[in-house]
Amino acid sequence: MNGMTVLISPLSWGFGHAGRMIPLAVELQRRGARIIFAADGPLLQMVQRDVPGITPVEIPGLRMRYSRSLPQYICIFLQLPHIIASAVRDHRTLRRLVSEYNPSVIISDNRFGFYNRRVFSAYVTHQLRIPFPGPLRFMEPLAMWMHRVIINRFDLCLVPDYPGSVNLSGRLSHGLRLPRKVIFSGPLSRFSTPDAREPDGRDPGVRNPDRPEPDGTVHDGTEQNITEPYGTEPDRTVPGRTESERTVSGGTESERTVSGVTGSDVTEPATPDQSHPVCLLLSGPEPQRTLLLKKINETLSGFRMVVLTATPLPLFINETPPGIRVIIAPDAAAMRRELLSSSLVIARSGYSSVMELVSLGKGAVIIPTPGQPEQEYLGRHLNGMLGFVTISQHNLNKLPAVVHERTRNQFSRQPCGDNTLLTGKQEGTDTAKPSASRLPDAAPLLEKAINSLLKHNKK
């Protein structure tokens, strides 16, 4: 397949859709394909770092606005004209890209308009059924029919999940009569690629004392202006404070002066139950991202914690416990290392985050984004299995007890990498969901998906 060109473009609602395209890009690249990756700027930066050798093409992404008070599904409904206009724009943009790059295969992760009738086009989604909250659940058949119309415009549909009864997405992609073009690819995680592992062959959960801090800006309780627009770089100068902290970005290092804690707090290795036993994987749109961070700061005051986030945080220093360390835009290897070195992970129940944690054999406390039906369903579906415990954002008073239990190794789980269904207590109960089932091997599923992409192209 030398000389084959594959054009990949993910939805720009956060970094999760781009992250799950990385294993597809790596595997296709390994087989000799040229990868054209079309996305907006921040997503391209992440993918270029984790997948060297791709050809980046910057195209505009869909920008959604959310409210502090309105549920997300209402915000999305109100912006439907904007979503439709974005799909039409994508379709026109793709015509230009097809003419310029002449791809053999197009892969669209939830970009509705990113298909071309002259090129084999694949659509990636984990939501064959679009969930609605209880009072509006009668609308699910209509939404599912509309989504099926979109899927039918593509030649292939990849579902990043297992096909059987042991699965991650539950009713979102199972219990349906599926067309023949639907193929389950297994979970797609950037941690499954070779570049996500340590270059010296060590266990990713063990820090090398001779290695500098991971790529990304590291903060330890420093001030960031909460009024800055989301995704912009805030002013981090904190007057009157004296501490040397290293910033690593794009392979260059610069020293800056901030205040607060000792320099050893910035550079000391993170090991379980010692430095930062709690790891917060912070994702999702504003304003809920900041609201969750502030609530966890209040709830877990006194706990040492590392926060992994793709973009700078609007963080007030006077609301931040001194034991917090923030890593902005870590690469896959650094993120993997921090997750594995922590005793407890806290994350949203976004599907990409779930796939990444499962690929590491790492359970977590998952907190669904309020008003987002998909995350609320996944929280219910995963609660008590695979090491996941679900806590609602309105009941974070239960979080300290869970943290104490997990950091003292009283939470039942199997060793990382075993892929055994793990057990965990359900919220509000003293019982667990035991299961001796094992997750299927995802490698044959990915192999089948890749072969389908390469075999059925129209050129």
What's the pLDDT at 60?
A: 82
Q: Are residues 105 and 13 in the same domain?
A: yes
pLDDT of 384 over the 70 cut: yes
At 336, the pLDDT band (50, 70, 90 cuts) reads very high
Q: Are residues 177 and 285 in the same domain?
A: no
pLDDT of 7 over the 90 cut: yes
Q: Tell me which residue has tokens 């799909």.
A: 87
Of 409, 397, 375, 279, nearest to 336 (Cα)?
279
Q: Are residues 129 and 242 in the same domain?
A: no
pLDDT of 114 over the 90 cut: yes
The Cα–Cα gap between 81 and 408 comes to: 50
pLDDT of 447 over the 60 cut: yes
The CA-based angle 187-188-190, given to 5 degrees, is 135
Higher pLDDT: 282 or 438? It is 282
Residue 378, domain member (yes or no): yes
CATH of the domain at 68: 3.40.50.2000
pLDDT tens by residue, 385-411: 999 999 999 899 889 888 887 776 534
Contact call for residues 39 and 69 (beta carbons, < 8 A):
no
For the chain, the domain total comes to 2
What's the pLDDT at 78?
A: 67
Q: Are residues 276 and 298 in the same domain?
A: yes
241 beta partners: none
Residue 428, domain member (yes or no): no
pLDDT tens by residue, 285-327: 777 888 888 888 888 887 888 999 887 766 544 455 567 888 8
Residue 429, domain member (yes or no): no
Low-confidence winner among 6-15, 50-59, 100-109 (lowest mean pLDDT):
6-15
The Cα–Cα gap between 340 and 342 comes to: 6
Sheet holding 105-109, edge to edge: 55-58, 34-39, 5-10, 105-109, 120-124, 156-159, 182-184
Residue 417, domain member (yes or no): no
The Cα–Cα gap between 61 and 394 comes to: 32
Low-confidence winner among 14-23, 216-225, 273-282, 320-329 (lowest mean pLDDT):
216-225
Q: Give 368-373 contacts, CB < 8 A, sequence gap 24+.
A: 368/392, 368/393, 369/72, 369/284, 369/288, 369/393, 370/71, 370/288, 370/394, 371/70, 371/71, 371/72, 371/73, 371/74, 372/71, 372/72, 372/73, 373/73, 373/131, 373/132, 373/133
Q: Are residues 244 and 155 in the same domain?
A: no
At 223, the pLDDT band (50, 70, 90 cuts) reads very low
pLDDT of 50 over the 70 cut: yes
CA 163 to each of CA 141, 185, 306, 446: distance values in angstroms, whole numbers, following the listed order: 22, 9, 35, 12
Residue 422, domain member (yes or no): no
Q: Are residues 269 and 329 in the same domain?
A: yes
Percentage of the chain beyond pLDDT 70 is 68
Q: Are residues 42 and 165 in the same domain?
A: yes
Taking the model in full, what pTM does it have? 0.77
Contact call for residues 275 and 264 (beta carbons, < 8 A):
no
Q: Are residues 207 and 310 in the same domain?
A: yes
At 195, the pLDDT band (50, 70, 90 cuts) reads low
Residue 426, domain member (yes or no): no
Residue 139, domain member (yes or no): yes
pLDDT tens by residue, 56-87: 999 987 776 665 666 666 766 766 776 777 77
Q: What is the DSSP letter of 145?
A: H
What's the pLDDT at 324?
A: 83
Q: Are residues 269 and 316 in the same domain?
A: yes
Ordered DSSP codes for 82-101: HHHHHHHHHHHHHHHHHHHH
pLDDT of 1 over the 60 cut: no
Q: Are residues 117 and 177 in the same domain?
A: yes
Q: Are residues 169 and 290 in the same domain?
A: no
**Residue range(s) defining the domain that contains residue 35:** 5-194+442-455
pLDDT of 34 over the 80 cut: yes
Percentage of the chain beyond pLDDT 90 is 42
Residue 427, domain member (yes or no): no
Q: Are residues 187 and 250 in the same domain?
A: no
pLDDT of 206 over the 60 cut: no
